[in-house]
Structure 1
Amino acid sequence: MCAIAGIYDLHHHTDIDAGLLRAMTDIQFHRGPDQGGVHLEPGIALGHRRLSIIDLSGGQQPLFNEDHSVAVVYNGEIYNYRELMRELQHYGHTFRTQCDTEVIVHAWEQWGERCVDHFRGMFAFGLWDRRQQSLFLARDRLGVKPLHYTVLDDGQLLFASELKALLTHDGLRRELDPLAVEEYFAYGYIPEPRTIFRQARKLEPGHTLLLRKGQPLAQPRRYWDIPFATQAPRSEAQASDELLQRLREAVRIRLVAEVPLGAFLSGGVDSSAVVAMMAQESTKPVNTCSISFGDPQFDETAYAQLVSDRYATRHHTQTVEQHDIDLVDQLAGLYDEPYADSSALPTYRVCQLARQRVTVALSGDGGDENLAGYRRYRWHLHEERWRTMLPLGLRKPLFGTLGRLYPKADWAPRPLRAKTTFEALARDTVSAYFHSVSIMSDAMRKALFSERLKRDLDGYHAADVLHRHARNCPSGHALSRVQYLDLKTYLPGDILTKVDRASMAHGLEVRVPLLDHTLVEWMSGLPPELKLRGTTGKYLFKRGLEPHLPKELLYRNKMGFSVPLADWFRGPLRSHLERSLASPVLADCGLFNLDQVQQLVAQHLSGRSDHSAPLWSLLMFESFLRQLPAAAPRNCARKAA
């Protein structure tokens, strides 16, 4: 696992600033503490930081083809590189290393832009072809590895693994994107392709970008999508067996490493399944790591211990304490832009714990999105049945009125929170799903935002992100559609971003078997009723895992990897919350109605409402603003206009 960086002059062949390239790689040192390398020639500069995993003595980057006309900097793992190496050798290509990186330059020579179709793994890379005077950027299909880029006013394109590397250039304007602010306070993260800055972008998962000297700036091209193609009929038993066989193979190919290897073990179904497959494929005990909480409502370590005992893993647990709020500023620095998933706290700690013993860890991320594990899917299908019974023209006024009149009851169980249900029934399918995943309602965001920010938004609504993806969804089934939306937004924007930054902060590589793209393609084609059966999510997966995991783990209520923020804010973190949200930083930026900020704080502290998610998002935004580089403008409202 590594960090990449590059500078490409789209119009000229002038020398690139070597000091700037060094700064871009040095600021990402944590991603690749083992080695560094750079390549400069007129008009192009490539930089790399390496965390050595395979071919420790070789594979230094930038890496070249035989005549040095093609160079690549790359972050990731291509698990089928040995097969590709043999295939490319058959075509006459000569290899000088046993590293997967070299496969990329020869695959480019052989297949050009379609080289990415042949790669099985997680990757982000920049490839320079001197003959064609072209720069080729690519990101893996599901967005496991990140790639940011910007085009400056002078025609230079910068790219890097992390946004902070782009900010080393004074030419990147620090203008906040008001649309990104709206999206952040709706989702808790900023979905691809937007970043918090107007001038910077993320390359979306499953996309490439080909740039040629002297030609107009091209648009990213999508090379892959989740197919949701219906499979041939088979029995449940056959489908269950095949699912486990495919997962086992996805785990097996991710066990190749020349460094110590382990796994995260949360006590949930997905990480437990990965550990079970690892243990059955390994000749040595698996190293496993868990995070615990003092609050039993959030603690899953007892279930993790069940799996550890069953497979005799070398298990290690660490407790996340309330004083971990000290990590807030550190996390804001890691993520480079506002990011409001509070589970980043335990994720950071479990990565820190794992790195003490291993260099590579396998995780269970992706199971909920692919196999319908989230409770919100069940509620969405329930509401969808009502939406199909009544046309929107009738539902909107009827349930809209009920939603406005019914009192808000955050404290009540979901079936009694009728206000939320009424509001969802008054919307179309995609808008209703947006309503269910938002960390702040439309009304709350409207009250929170300043008049200036609302003018800058000019009617833009964060739900447009989901509507854009919904138009491309290949399935008409209600469950498949919301799975598709999560795979396009929540998975890369929240889950994978969280794990990438937290793991790379400690020089730890995380591999994700459940996001093997061939497995994802196959799972997408399973009948929806094999994913969600009644109230049981991951139905087929759990059935197949019965011989491998305890039933009390498989069929318990889903807990999720979260922290007890609501109680923390009312307890020992109260003073930190009040101090931070009264900070002059929030006042100076001009983005917020400060009376509404203080009202949210007061309502939460009184116990009348649970505003922990909105308050955490404000806390992280304040920390982000406070840590903006010195070149950033102080009046961000003016710059957002």
Structure 2
Amino acid sequence: MVAALDHRGPDDSGVVEYDGAVLGSSRLSIIDVKGGRQPLLDADRATALVCNGEIYGHRRLRSLLSDYPFVTGSDCEVILALYRRHGAALLDHLPGTFAFALWDERQRTLLLARDRFGERPLYWAMTSTGCLAFASETHALVSSGLVDNRPDPEMVAQMLRQGYVPTDRSIWQGVRSIPHASRLTWICAPLRRSNGGGRRPNPTTPEMPTRRSSGSARRSTTPWSTSSTPMFRSAHFSRAASIRRRSPCSPPAIIEDCERSPSTCPVRRRSPTRPVADRHGIDLHVYRPELHGVADRIRSLGRSWDEPFGDSSALPTSMLCEFAREHVKVVLTGDGADELLGGYVVWNRDLLETPTDDRSPMSTASKRFARLRMRAARPPAVDRSRIARRYATFRQYFDADQLGSLGLPPLDAARVDVSAYHYGTADDISRFDLDHYLPGDILVKTDRASMARGLEVRAPFLDVDVATGCLALPSHHKVDATHEKVLLRRAFGDQWPAAVRDRPKQGFGAPMSDWLELPEVARLKADHLVDPASALFELVDHDAVQPFVGANDQRTWNLLMLAVWWEQHRRRAPSRQCA
């Protein structure tokens, strides 16, 4: 199982065994490269830890835990110290991005936990012998032969419908994901799972948000200066808080910079980061990918990703991570800024005025999305619970009848519980995205694309202090009549040229329909979506797929990604059909 995760940790590996527990780790060495080898043990070897991620502010935490006999410089060792002091409640005191497993030999318990937003993955399964197995990716569990390795028909349907598997499940029947901000305790007896690791927002006053969030965002980048390796900043974060006037060191910045023509670049995006880099003396590396080889890259996603994934921006994200890893080992991204700072409202209002491809089911869905966003931003005058219910289902590509024709469970459109968002306000919609879309799509994409190449990603906007401050603010502090992310523009606008400060939001999109029409991808579709011998038809009905092959929309893409994924992973699963 450890060897199956070598791509996530190519620098080192280790295993520790107890009577009743075995912990293993593949490590990407960032902090205390030589001394921070995992599993980490306390002084009497009674507690062992494996952790993926980074604990922010670990030096400050060490000073507060001076009674603990630290033996390494690893940031993760503070988890052992916090556990000694607080037990499982340590999650209330633990900042950063992490997924960890901690074995307590005295108590004979295993604690599994994930960070507040789900930046790092963690899966678990019960074996046929009644043991609990866990891993950062599902294929490590499935390929072990210890767990049920049949695809789950309901999760196949979910992936096709929304493009990703729900955050508490996996594509496999016998494997579950620990939800973000949650912990699972195994006591050599029945499982106990509970929410944990999340601070509730603190009240704040209207006059404080800009100054407070600016300070928090700057503090959240301090791990950058304590790392033993160089870093770069992505275009998103360069446009936001990570470029500071007085930075303790000067890492390179690497972005993707493309013309809009699909004949020259597979990503319709042109970044304004160059003037920001020039102003702050950042060493800018520009990546201009070519269009050829798209079919091979689609196949590579099927090989390297442990679950099928329908977000087409996964392909350019993977390309950028591949390029970045040639230069650096750690990157900073702007993930979470849209959800926390109102980055979608104005952008999706603009979607109503932008011509869209009538062949795409998302042409209508995008318009519905924008209308819901605008209604949610208005004073209450309608049944807002209806807005919440509709928003929860807007990003759906296959309806119940289409899923049923494919031979899959038709799914209940109301499966998602919207009771926590029943007011249907802009704040509710942002929280819905934080609970579902961010951990299910955005953070999965970032994690798999980066870790497939041994690249560490950090998202300072998801630092607990930044996020708590942002969540405490109502939406009118974040969006006005002309701009999204108003708070961010005010906090850091003096560091950006006017052309950047006043620029409207531009998403990290991909010309999916153009890709699907390429001759090389057309051949890939024929092999995987048309040929009756394709492995895909072990999962779905052949005849029902054919109407979607020529649509070249999100439904086609989701089916193709499911097909190339299953072609690669079915060999790891002797039971080759959904059951």
Question: Common fold, TM-score beyond 0.5?
Answer: yes
Are positions 1:110 and 2:85 aligned together? Answer: yes
**Is 1:280 matched with 2:246?**
yes
Are the aligned partners of 1:589 and 1:634 in contact in 2 as well (CA < 8 Å)? no
1:234-633 mapped onto 2 (5 Å cutoff):
234=207, 238-265=208-235, 268=236, 270-277=237-244, 280-284=246-250, 286-296=251-261, 298-322=267-291, 323-375=293-345, 428-438=386-396, 440-442=397-399, 445-450=400-405, 452-454=407-409, 460-461=411-412, 463-465=414-416, 467=417, 470-472=418-420, 476=423, 478-572=425-519, 573-584=521-532, 589=537, 591-602=539-550, 604=551, 611-630=552-571, 632-633=573-574
Map of 1:84 onto structure 2:
61
Cα distance in 2 for partners of 1:52, 1:344 equals 25
Aligned residues between the structures: 560
Contact 2:117 2:462 in 1 (8 A): yes
Partner of 2:99: 124
Shift of 1:435: 3.4
Q: Structure 2 CA distance, aligned partners of 1:428 and 1:418?
A: 13
For residues 468-515 of structure 1, what are the alpha-carbon distances to aligned partners after superposition, in whole Å with 9 as ceiling and x for unaligned? xx3345x94611111111111111111111111111122111111101
Distance 1:189 1:409, change over 3 A: closer
Residue 294 of structure 1: how far off its partner (Å): 4.7
CA deviations over 1:446-484 (Å, ceiling 9, x no partner): 224436423xx5xx325423x2xx3345x9461111111
**Distance in 2 of aligned mates of 1:336 and 1:413:** 30
CA distance 1:523–1:33, change in 2 (3 Å): same
CA contact (8 A) 2:54 2:75 kept: yes
Q: Give the number of the structure whose alpha-carbon radius of gyration is greater.
A: 1
Match of residue 378 from structure 2: none
Shift in Å at residue 414 of structure 1? 7.5
Name the CA shift for 1:271/1:343 in 2 (closer, same or farther; >3 Å).
Answer: farther
**Secondary structure of 1:433's match?**
helix
Give the CA deviation at 1:419.
12
One-letter identity of the residue aligned with 2:295: I
Q: In proportion to residue count, which structure has more helix?
A: 1
User: CA contact under 8 A between 1:185 and 1:617: conserved in structure 2?
Assistant: yes
Secondary structure in 2 matching 1:636: coil
Q: 1:125 to 1:318 in 2, by over 3 A?
A: same
Are residues 420 and 491 of structure 1, via their aligned partners in 2, closer, same or farther at CA, if it must alter by over 3 Å? Answer: closer
Q: Give the alignment's Cα RMSD to 1 decimal.
A: 3.0
Question: Bigger shift: 26-35 or 550-559?
Answer: 550-559
Distance 1:375 1:636, change over 3 A: farther
Residue in 1 aligned with 2:577? 636
Task: Tell me, yes or no, if the aligned pair for 1:376 and 1:436 is still in contact at 8 Å.
Answer: no
Q: TM-score, normalization: structure 1? A: 0.81
Against the structure 1 CA distance between its residues 299 and 199, is the aligned structure 2 distance closer, same or farther, given a 3 Å change threshold? same
Query: What SS class does the counterpart of residue 75 from structure 1 fall into?
Result: strand
Q: 1:244 to 1:43 in 2, by over 3 A?
A: same
Q: Tell me the secondary structure at the aligned position of residue 159 of structure 1.
A: strand
Rounded to whole Å, the distance in 1 between the matches of 2:87 and 2:311 is 38
TM-score (norm 2): 0.89
CA contact under 8 A between 1:359 and 1:508: conserved in structure 2? yes
Equivalent residue of 1:175, what SS?
Answer: coil
Residue 86 of structure 1: how far off its partner (Å):
2.1
Please state how far the C-alpha of 1:42 moved relative to its aligned partner: 2.2
AA aligned to 1:628 is: H
Percent of pairs with identical residues = 32
Q: 2:184 aligns with which of 172, 186, 209?
A: 209
Cα deviation 1:112-157 (Å, max 9, x = unaligned): 0111111111111111111101111111111111111101231011
Instruction: State how far apart, in whole Å, the 2-side matches of 1:107 and 1:135 are.
Output: 15
SS of alignment partner, residue 173 of structure 2: coil
Structure 1 unaligned regions, length at least 5: 1-23, 383-406, 605-610
Matched, 1:168 2:143: yes
